[in-house]
Chains A and B, each alone.
Chain A
Amino acid sequence: MSKTIVFERVSKDFTGTGRAAVRDVSLEVMEGHLVVLLGPSGCGKTTLMKMVNRLYEPTSGRILIDGVEIHDLKVTELRRRIGYVIQQVGLFPHMKVEKNIAVVPQMLGWDKLKIHRRVTELLDLVGLPATEFRDRYPSQLSGGQQQRVGLARALAADPSIMLMDEPFAAIDNITRTRLQDELLRIQQNVRKTILFVTHDVEEALKLADEIVVMRDGQVLQYDTPLNILSHPANEFVVELTGADDVLRRLSLQAAATVMLPWEGSEKPESQMPRIAPSTDLRDALALLIKTGSEELVVVDEDGNRVGRLTLSAIRNLATQPTTVSTS
């Protein structure tokens, strides 16, 4: 797998503020990964992201996409290759849904038939039936539907990179959860390299392949969600992510990672609840408590018993102290 976006010692000063918004950040984002930029407001996460499509220019340092320095590309062409989704959605109110989605393909000179097909395909992908929604104006859509169209519009020209700036922050809880699930589903199919900005820890843990924790314009830690919770870089990361929250940590581990191999059991198997290997440990624990059982049978898709998960194994894992690395 190759590096798609590379930040090399990138800094950004806004004139007049006297403080760097982004300080000396170096990062490598792998192709097809969903990387979440996480941090409190004012930490520089949005600034860092907006330098990728050159809405901001770095004061120093450079950014490369697929090995090419983005400053050497024509800015409009660079942006047309990058999907961009923002919190306020920013749909064009005077254009129907179809026209909104067609903006970038039109600028790229696609023919009408190809655009029409692409719009249908995208609306299906984001869960809005094309026949019903194609001819609506943005004002005729709910907030959640608008952001689905925003997502479709960003995906329109099949960019390899997507930038998403708190896209679900202004949406109600239930709809947000649904949109997060759909983003994961879509990402499984399309495998874009995504930079996703949020200040919502739950959202970050749920969506990210890797999380970049930022504060005061600097990167504190860049790692997988599980490693960030189990080996937070410092007290700030512990506090921000709630790394000492046992249940939160359990929710990031699948049963398959801690189960014991199946060697039969002294207890009658019929009384033992069954779970899939991908079930997370928080759900497994909940099942144990609910059923009063001491252990669970892990069963694969074909119904074969592949392992057993005991209450004591989960307890051992949960009581491991969170180690703050001292690097």
Chain B
Amino acid sequence: MNPFVQFYQFFADGFYYLFDKWERVSPFFFEHLRISGISLAIALLIAFPLGLLVSKVRWLATPVLGVLNVLYTIPSLAFLAFLVPFYGLSPLTTIVVLVAYAQTMLVRNITLGFIGIEPSISESARGMGMNPWQILWRVELPLALPVMVAGMRIATLAIISIATIGAWAGAETLGKLFQEDNPRKNAAGIICVVLIALTADQLYRLLERAASGYRRKQAPARPQAQSVQVA
């Protein structure tokens, strides 16, 4: 059979399954969103103070980012398998892995965001009599935000894709649709993951535009987005 027809047939069946059997897909769909959301929230809560710390205490950059980079090179399936004895076959295992992976991208970009601020800007903020909190919230955070949001976008896309694999470690995510040899289910799963990823990507692009609005006024220079790596 013509491969194009096969390809078309595969996804047409997927869409059909999605609409016909939505009540079977929806629990996985929402669980996927839930686990991704929880992971992102926890990851941010850890990464923000860590990134801020690394940006202020520069010598921490090499060890912290080094450890995170090593963490990132562990294959996700191996990572999950390694954690199962500790957290069991439960969503917790997946969440721990997702949080760990997201750290690399989040901490890196949060640090870069703060380091990239012109020192004279922080100095004049200090010289004008702002206290450290005012400097952080009114000056440094808004200026670091575009780079931070770029990191969040990459981390979120990675979380969404890796959450799929969590199905093998007890998380009821869309990965469940890949566990049996049923092309219609498989296709429906792919469609859902891609849909979530595209939507998230677009939302982040809007957010990035809003956060760097003042820059567009003159310079065409946009923050250099890093290449998106989907595991």
Contact = CB atoms under 8 A, between A and B. Distances in A.
Interface of A: 53, 55, 75-81, 84, 86-95, 103-104, 107, 137, 139-140, 153, 163
A76 to B, nearest CB: 4
Contact of A90 (B124, B142, B143): B124
A107 B130 contact: yes
Contact of B124 (A76, A80, A84, A139): A84
A79 B127 contact: yes
A77 B130 CA distance: 9
A91 B123 CA distance: 10
Contacts of B125: 90, 92
Nearest to A96: B214
Contact of B143 (A75, A77, A93): A93
Interface stretch (B106-114, B188-196, B215-223): B215-223
Nearest to A138: B214
Interface in B180-231: 214-215, 217-219
Decide if the interface of chain B is mainly helix, strand, loop or mixed.
helix
B128 A94 contact: no
A93 B125 CA distance: 12
A107 B134 CA distance: 10
Contact of B126 (A79, A81, A91, A137): A79
Contacts, number: 70
10 contacts: A55-B126, A81-B129, A89-B124, A90-B120, A90-B124, A90-B125, A92-B125, A94-B142, A104-B128, A163-B127
Nearest to B117: A93
Most chain A CB inside 10 Å of its own CB: which residue of B123, B125, B127, B130? B127
Contacts of B127: 53, 55, 79, 84, 86, 90, 163
A104 B129 contact: yes
A84 B128 contact: yes
B38 interface: no
A88 B134 contact: no
B214 A139 contact: yes
A86 B130 CA distance: 16
Interface of B: 118, 120-121, 123-131, 134, 139, 142-143, 214-215, 217-219
Contacts of A104: 128-129
A75 B123 CA distance: 14
A80 B129 contact: yes
In the A-B complex, the 4 residue pairs with the smallest Cβ-Cβ separation, listed nearest first, are: A90-B124, A79-B129, A88-B120, A80-B129
B129 A107 contact: yes
B214 A88 contact: no
A90 B218 contact: no
A88 B118 contact: yes
A106 to B, nearest CB: 10
A81 B124 CA distance: 14
B218 A137 contact: yes
A86 B129 contact: no
Contact of A94 (B124, B131, B214): B214
Given A76-B130, A79-B129, A139 B139 contact: no
B129 A92 contact: no
Contact of B217 (A80, A81, A92, A140): A140
A137 B128 contact: no
Contacts of B218: 137, 139-140
B219 A139 contact: yes
Q: For A55, A78, A84, A92, which residue has the most chain B Cβ atoms within 10 angstroms?
A: A92
A86 B120 contact: yes
A91 B218 CA distance: 16
B215 A139 contact: yes
B214 A137 contact: yes
A153 B131 CA distance: 18
Nearest to B126: A55
A62 B125 CA distance: 24
Contacts of B126: 55, 79
B143 to A, nearest CB: 6
B141 to A, nearest CB: 10
Given A107-B134, A137-B218, A139-B215, A55 B128 contact: no
